[in-house]
Structure 1
Amino acid sequence: MKSKATTPEHANPAQYLEAAREGLALQTAAHSSTWHFGEEKTWAADLDTGVIVFSFADGTTAKAQLQVVGTYNTVDGTFLWAWDHPSVPEALRRHAALAKQWGEKHDLPAFISRKIECTEDDAWSYAAVTNRLANANGVYRGPAGTALFFITFGEVSIARAEP
């Protein structure tokens, strides 16, 4: 019998999740060292255009296309997936839908239940898996009141402030 090569998304779910977390940490470190991701003064996500903008104290901005993974409610400790989120436009749910498909394939309730009780760290894991499945460029966790938006983003364009 011939050995069948497996693609990463077909790996053991726990191993895939661990690799996704490690990959996200590497992406985040690279963004931090190259364009100071994590040091932004403000951020804004436009759900009509699907663009996230990070603004820095020196006037530099970084922009990227976005997809919403879901929102984490800090009050009740629940995560609401974007694939069925009433505030997220259909066009910005594609990456979350990949996570749902992966969850269905591996029978993972956390990925196929619309709203789940979890920790913020669990929400990071869901976002990391989504990021990897979508081959995205990173994840941002943006605070909005008592909610935390977990967002994947694409290629980043930097506009440096004029001296």
Structure 2
Amino acid sequence: MPLFRRRRTTGPTDEPDPVDTLPLSDLLLQGEDMIERLATAHRDRWGLGSGATWAVDQTTATITWTFPDTRVHAPVQILATYAPGPGSWRWAWANPSITPALRSAAEQLRDWGLRRGHDAFTTPDLSVDETTAATLVALAVRVTRATGFYRGSGGTVPYLTFGDVTIEHADGRVEPFRVSVGT
């Protein structure tokens, strides 16, 4: 064997990560599809988006939805915040009011943007409309392989991803729930 020949390995490390090779248009379509499938799975299983109160605890990096007879919680990441009035978008990695534990998905996305040369993911603050905000989120969900997505409410809207869910019923039952939509 020649001295400087690169040793070939086998397994998944041989394949380039699709988020680094697929065209942006393909990633966008996949991200939009993922958001739709994630929303449907979470809505159908435990009622995501059905009027529960919700809160993010930055100390524990957890989001909790509270229903009359159920509490649902999951690990959470904040992607960005968006103020619709002025069209102001700020990535979580650039927001000092968001704790580092809640910014890792946004940092992963920024690093991906640096590798791919996409300034929209490496510029801290952007001026965008609702359609562009939705596009950024779809790409973020795809690139970070999120298993849950939530758009908060309020004057400044947080865009969040979340992990495996724990459903706590009033009768004491506790159920884990995991969504895998694949890409």
Q: TM-score, normalised by structure 2?
A: 0.80
Q: What does residue range 119-138 of structure 1 map to in structure 2 within 5 Å?
A: 119-138=129-148
Output one character per residue of 1:68-91: Cα deviation in whole Å (capped at 9) or x when no partner: 101001221011000111111111
Superposed displacement of residue 9, structure 1: 0.3
Aligned with 1:155 (options 164, 171, 175): 164
Q: How far does the alpha carbon of each residue in 1:117-137 deviate from its partner, in whole angstroms, 9 at most, with x for none? A: 112232233223222222221
Are residues 1:143 and 2:136 paired? no
CA RMSD of aligned residues (A): 1.8
Tell me, yes or no, if structure 1 residue 80 matches structure 2 residue 90: yes
Is 1:90 the counterpart of 2:100 in the alignment?
A: yes
Corresponding residue for residue 47 of structure 2: 36
Aligned residue among 12, 16, 19 for 2:27: 16
Q: Distance in 2 between matches of 1:47 and 1:142?
A: 15
Mapped partners of 1:8, 1:24: distance in 2: 18
Gaps of 5+ in 2: 1-13, 173-183
Shift of 1:7: 2.7
The answer to whether residue 61 in structure 2 is matched with residue 50 in structure 1 is: yes
Answer whether contact 2:28 2:142 (CA < 8 A) is retained: no
What is the CA distance between 1:26 and its match in structure 2? Answer: 0.7
Structure 2 distance, partners of 1:94, 1:131, is: 13
Does the 8 Å contact 2:27/2:142 carry over to 1? no
Quote the residue 1:118 is aligned against: 128
CA distance in 2, matches of 1:34, 1:121: 28
| Structure 1 moving runs of 4+ over 6 Å | none
The one-letter code sitting in structure 2 at the alignment partner of 1:149 is P
In 2: Cα distance, 1:14 partner to 1:6 partner: 18
The answer to whether the Cα contact below 8 Å between 1:69 and 1:96 also exists between their aligned partners in 2 is: yes
Contact 1:128–1:139 at 8 Å: present in 2 too?
no
CA distance in 2, matches of 1:22, 1:40: 23
Distance 1:35 1:162 in 2: 15
Structure 2 counterpart SS, 1:18 = helix
Q: What SS does structure 2 have at the residue aligned with 1:87?
A: coil
1:21 Cα deviation after fit: 1.2
